[in-house]
């Protein structure tokens, strides 16, 4: 499940770009997942808005500096398609459409029987139930124009985009690699970042529904510095009540998605949500974790990767969990 735009190359760098940061990670080894090197750059508001490039010149200039500083020019790149651009939708097609004809069929039906909130999507699909008359598919789509703006920009800056992924799949890939998944699991992932929150429900290994929400972000209320690892440290200097209101709004959205899943599955034999998986770069992540444990009877999990003292390696910071999951993606 990824966007098939690219060819295969080796020595791949993993890049995560969102509204407030650019992160890169290079993988040292897959088992256990271990980063070799990483870096992060804060993006001021207004350069990327809701996943779309708003100030192309500024982003190009900052990215060029990053590519030079991080010494990744002419390297192959995997990247995450920004969450606000991605939709997941269930579609039904006739059962007699053959496997090698599905993509062509979907192209023909886009805009007629299959409606998306944008034209000319780049997409992939996952086959689900086939009852002999119809086939159910999960369609993963994003506007091609916005995705290609990132591809073209990276190519112009002399790096080579070879694969794109979506953040819930990258997160789940790492979760699965660490043997945290269990049979018949229904996992609710909560990616809680500085400027946005992404919610996704997995039925076993398949992301079946996703919702994205922007958080209000006033740069004057935050102090942004770097730590000795080269990662952002964000300290909130505004009124605490502002964050409380933001968090309450997100908890309401979590409740809505819980209710939606329970209602949509009430005629099936599917079980309820079995676990929350919380992740993200929000500086209040542990407070959010404690609040979720207090509010919900559903267990709440965090991905933590601790190294033993003999390895002389520190635990992997939360900022790196998503690019580390991306690094485990195979390029096809």
pLDDT tens digits, one per residue of 33-79: 888 899 999 999 999 999 999 999 999 999 999 999 999 999 999 99
pLDDT in the model for residue 7: 42
pLDDT in the model for residue 149: 97
Tally Cβ neighbours within 10 Å of residue 289: 17
pLDDT in the model for residue 118: 87
Cα separation, 247 vs 182, in Å, equals 29
**DSSP code for 329:** P
- Nearest partner of 307 among 41, 22, 28, 39, judged by Cα: 28
pLDDT 10s digits, 207-253: 999 999 999 999 999 999 998 888 899 999 999 999 999 999 999 99
pLDDT in the model for residue 9: 41
CB 117 within 8 A of CB 107: no
User: Please, what is the average pLDDT of the chain?
Assistant: 90
Q: Indicate the SS3 state at residue 13.
A: strand
Find out if CATH 3.30.420.380 is the number for domain 12-327: yes
- Nearest partner of 190 among 281, 316, 90, 315, judged by Cα: 281
Tell me the mean pLDDT in the region 181-190. Answer: 93
Determine which helix (DSSP H) or strand (DSSP E) holds 139, and give its type and residue range. strand 134-143
Q: Does the pLDDT of residue 4 top 80, yes or no? A: no
pLDDT 10s digits, 84-108: 999 999 899 999 999 889 999 998 8
Q: How confident is residue 313, by pLDDT bands cut at 50, 70 and 90? A: low
Model confidence, pTM: 0.90
Cα separation, 147 vs 207, in Å, equals 20
**DSSP code for 313:** -
pLDDT in the model for residue 34: 87
**What are phi and psi for residue 172, nearest 5 degrees?**
-65, -35
The domain locations on the chain are 12-327
- Nearest partner of 191 among 310, 55, 303, 329, judged by Cα: 303
Largest CA distance in the chain: 60
Q: Does the pLDDT of residue 204 top 70, yes or no? A: yes
């Amino acid at each position: 499940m990824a966007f098939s735009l690219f060819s295969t190359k080796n020595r791949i760098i993993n890049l995560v770009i969102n509204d407030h940061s650019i992160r890169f990670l290079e993988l040292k080894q897959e088992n256990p997942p271990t980063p070799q090197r990483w870096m992060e750059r804060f993006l001021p508001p207004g350069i990327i808005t809701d996943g779309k490039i708003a100030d192309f010149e500024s982003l190009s200039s900052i990215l060029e500096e990053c590519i030079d500083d991080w010494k990744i020019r002419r390297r192959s790149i995997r990247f995450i398609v920004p969450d606000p651009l991605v939709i997941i939708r269930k579609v039904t097609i006739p059962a007699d459409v053959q496997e090698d004809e599905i993509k062509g069929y979907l192209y023909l039906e886009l805009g007629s029987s299959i409606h998306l909130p944008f034209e000319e999507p780049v997409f992939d699909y996952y086959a689900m139930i086939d009852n002999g008359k119809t086939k159910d598919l999960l369609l993963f789509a994003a506007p091609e124009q916005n995705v290609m703006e990132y591809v073209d920009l990276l190519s112009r800056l002399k790096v080579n985009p070879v694969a794109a992924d979506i953040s819930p799949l990258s997160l789940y890939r790492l979760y699965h690699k660490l043997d945290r998944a269990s049979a018949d699991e229904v996992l609710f992932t909560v990616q809680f970042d500085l400027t946005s929150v992404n919610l996704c429900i997995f039925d076993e290994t398949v992301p079946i529904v996703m919702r994205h929400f922007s958080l209000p972000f006033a740069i004057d209320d935050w102090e942004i510095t770097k730590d000795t690892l080269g990662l952002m440290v964000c300290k909130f200097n505004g009124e605490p009540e502002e964050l409380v209101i933001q968090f309450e709004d997100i908890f309401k959205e979590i409740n809505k998605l819980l209710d939606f899943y329970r209602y949509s599955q009430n005629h099936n034999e599917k079980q309820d949500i079995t676990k929350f998986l919380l992740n993200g770069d929000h500086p209040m992540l542990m407070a959010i974790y404690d609040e979720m444990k207090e509010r919900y009877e559903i267990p709440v999990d965090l991905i933590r990767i601790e190294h033993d003292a003999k390895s002389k390696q520190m635990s992997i910071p939360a900022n790196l969990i998503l690019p580390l999951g991306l690094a485990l993606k195979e390029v096809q």
